[in-house]
């Protein structure tokens, strides 16, 4: 075993120990202090991690530059990194604060008439796809869905740290949703939809090799056909939604930006393209309502474009 590999286990152990201690600190200090401390740490890290900062600003500028000036772009990108760090704070607080009798206090209700419609569809066995993005505290969306009575199969990407992954899965599944690792999605999702169930997934991934050509926030991209194929094949309702963090500490809102069904694409020449384009436009509306909560450091338009944009910004 190489010396570098010898360090992996103790570093992971220290990270897990620190995470457990953070839960204790946050419980003692209160959630307002927790967010203030983690926000300060995030801002310090953001300016320290130059590659992360350059990529975040470059992608944000390319997507929002026609709407925002350079200073505003820099502010949005920096605040987006703070929101990403706050996602860990959300998880650490959720285990203690979110329960069947408390979730609504924190803005966790799905707004009407959408909740009533989704529950009615669930009762009659109507398949549904809830499509979201790497936006806001997306890790908490399965928790709130379950407490609203929506029993969804939620696709997730396992974390490399097994101990943290177990903790995150436990928190996210506590309200009754099934967590489906992305490696099992192709076998599990069709079965859920065939049975008239609900599937929830993040759908703003690039598909650089085989996806549909399109745009996202004005930039060229290739988009996975998965959502369109599943909705078309199983006549599933498509719900485009996300969760947004509000100004108050540990306070959220669920935003349903679009709902469309089989009748909307029946007459289309290419139903899969129609479904894909429509949910992308919905995700754009979600993000533009508060772009500081989007994950600008994520290579949404592919690694090649992310590197190109970052290089151009670094040369300015």
269-306 per-position pLDDT tens digit: 999 999 999 999 999 999 999 999 999 998 889 888 88
164 pLDDT band, cuts 50/70/90, is confident
More confident residue, 24 or 143: 143
In the chain, where does the domain assigned CATH 3.40.1130.10 lie? 104-291
Is residue 157 within 8 Å of 117, Cβ to Cβ?
no
Q: What is the pLDDT of residue 108?
A: 95
Question: Directed axis angle between helix 226-234 and helix 271-289, to 10°?
Answer: 120
163 pLDDT band, cuts 50/70/90, is confident
Residue 310 scores a pLDDT above 90: no
Residue 40 scores a pLDDT above 80: yes
The whole-angstrom separation of Cα 217 and Cα 285 is: 9
The whole-angstrom separation of Cα 130 and Cα 243 is: 12
Q: What is the pLDDT of residue 316?
A: 52
At residue 181, the 3 state secondary structure works out as strand
Find the distance separating the first CA and the last CA of the chain, reported in whole Å: 44
Residue 61 scores a pLDDT above 80: yes
Query: pLDDT digit string (tens) for 89-124?
Result: 899 889 889 999 999 999 999 999 999 999 999 999
Residue 214 scores a pLDDT above 70: yes
28 pLDDT band, cuts 50/70/90, is low
User: Cβ atoms within 10 A of the Cβ of 212, count?
Assistant: 17
Question: Hey, which bits of 237-284 come out as E strands?
Answer: 237-245, 252-260
Q: What is the pLDDT of residue 34?
A: 84
Q: What is the pLDDT of residue 215?
A: 92
Looking at 3.40.50.2300, 3.20.20.70, 3.40.1130.10, 3.50.50.60, the CATH number of the domain 104-291 comes to 3.40.1130.10
Q: What percent of the chain has pLDDT over 90?
A: 67
Tell me the β-bridge partners of 255: 242
Residue 155 scores a pLDDT above 80: yes
Q: What is the mean pLDDT of the chain?
A: 88
Residue range 42-70: mean pLDDT, rounded:
92
More confident residue, 67 or 275: 275
Is residue 112 within 8 Å of 64, Cβ to Cβ?
no
User: Cβ atoms within 10 A of the Cβ of 111, count?
Assistant: 11
315 pLDDT band, cuts 50/70/90, is low
Q: What percent of the chain has pLDDT over 70?
A: 90
The two tokens of residue 139 are: 């890790």
Q: What is the pLDDT of residue 311?
A: 86
Q: What is the pLDDT of residue 185?
A: 94
Distance (Å) of CA 144 to CA 18, 43, 70, 154, 264: 27, 28, 36, 12, 28
Q: What is the pLDDT of residue 129?
A: 98
- Model pTM score: 0.89
């Amino acid at each position: 075993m190489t010396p570098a590999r010898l360090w992996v286990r103790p570093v992971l152990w220290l990270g897990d120990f620190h995470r457990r201690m953070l839960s204790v600190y946050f419980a003692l200090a209160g959630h307002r202090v927790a967010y203030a401390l983690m926000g300060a740490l995030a801002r310090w890290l953001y300016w320290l991690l130059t590659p992360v900062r350059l990529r975040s600003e470059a992608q944000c500028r390319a997507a929002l530059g026609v709407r925002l000036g350079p200073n505003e772009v820099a502010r949005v990108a920096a605040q987006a990194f703070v929101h990403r760090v706050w996602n860990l704070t959300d998880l650490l607080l959720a285990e203690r604060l979110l329960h069947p009798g408390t979730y609504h206090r924190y803005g966790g209700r799905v707004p009407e008439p959408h909740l009533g419609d989704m529950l009615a569809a669930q009762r009659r066995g109507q398949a549904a796809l809830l499509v979201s993005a790497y936006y806001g505290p997306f890790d908490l969306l399965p928790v709130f869905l379950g407490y609203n009575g929506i029993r969804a199969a939620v696709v997730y990407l396992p974390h490399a740290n097994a101990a943290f992954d177990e903790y995150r899965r436990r928190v996210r599944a506590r309200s009754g949703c099934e967590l489906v690792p992305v490696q099992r999605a192709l076998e599990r999702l069709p079965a859920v939809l065939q049975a008239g169930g609900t599937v929830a997934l993040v759908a703003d991934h690039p598909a650089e090799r085989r996806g549909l050509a399109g745009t996202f926030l004005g930039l060229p991209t290739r988009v996975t056909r998965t959502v369109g194929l599943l909705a078309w094949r199983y006549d599933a309702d498509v719900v485009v939604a996300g969760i947004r963090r509000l100004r108050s500490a540990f306070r959220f809102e669920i935003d349903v930006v679009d709902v469309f069904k089989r009748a909307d694409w029946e007459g289309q020449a290419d139903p899969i393209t129609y479904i894909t384009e429509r949910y992308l436009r919905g995700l754009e509306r979600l993000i533009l309502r508060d772009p500081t909560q989007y994950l600008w450091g994520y290579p949404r338009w592919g690694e090649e474009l992310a590197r190109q944009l970052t290089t151009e910004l670094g040369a300015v």
